[in-house]
Amino acid sequence: MRALAYALIHEENGVYGISFPDFPGAVSGGGSAEEVITKGQQALALHVEGMVEDGEALPLLRELSELRVDPEFVEWSKDAVLALVPVDLPSKPVRINISIDEGLLDRIDRAAKARGETRSGYLASAAKVRLAG
């Protein structure tokens, strides 16, 4: 499910940093606002993926009105630019039926086993890499 997460962008001496109030620990930096947003989106995606893999509960994304009454947010947002960054949040798994070459399936199964992954997990990870470009 695609959602939008609020981000705070700070600049100091030409260096930009981005953080996400609803995802503490998801941070990144860059040399321009555009670069830091791109890197921030990637950092947030990896952060969410790590939370899911670790079995952590994902936070509920807060509305701006909720953030504005959070004293921590108020402090951190001083001199910051507020941005909305798209993030893909996992939804419930869906069972699918696909056709695939038998030899390729065997190679996928061996590779997944070698990495300690399930076939589904391996294929999903491969698809994410391909979709990311």
Q: What's at 72, amino acid-wise? A: E
- In this structure, the answer to whether residues 46 and 81 fall within a common structural domain is yes
- In this structure, the answer to whether residues 21 and 77 fall within a common structural domain is yes
- In this structure, the answer to whether residues 23 and 64 fall within a common structural domain is yes
| Residue 118 belongs to domain spanning | 92-133
Q: Rounded to the nearest 5 degrees, what angle is found at the Cα of 49, between the Cα atoms of 43 and 54?
A: 125
- In this structure, the answer to whether residues 17 and 74 fall within a common structural domain is yes
For residue 82, give the DSSP letter: E
- In this structure, the answer to whether residues 96 and 86 fall within a common structural domain is no
pTM here is: 0.69
- In this structure, the answer to whether residues 3 and 56 fall within a common structural domain is yes
- In this structure, the answer to whether residues 121 and 77 fall within a common structural domain is no
Tokens of residue 13, six digits: 């001496």
Distance CA(113)–CA(7), nearest Å, equals: 38
- In this structure, the answer to whether residues 51 and 32 fall within a common structural domain is yes
- In this structure, the answer to whether residues 16 and 27 fall within a common structural domain is yes
Residues 6+ apart with CB under 8 A from 35: 16
pLDDT tens sequence across 30-61: 999 999 999 999 999 999 989 988 888 899 99
**CA nearest neighbour of 7 among 57, 61, 49:** 61
pLDDT tens sequence across 67-80: 999 999 999 999 99
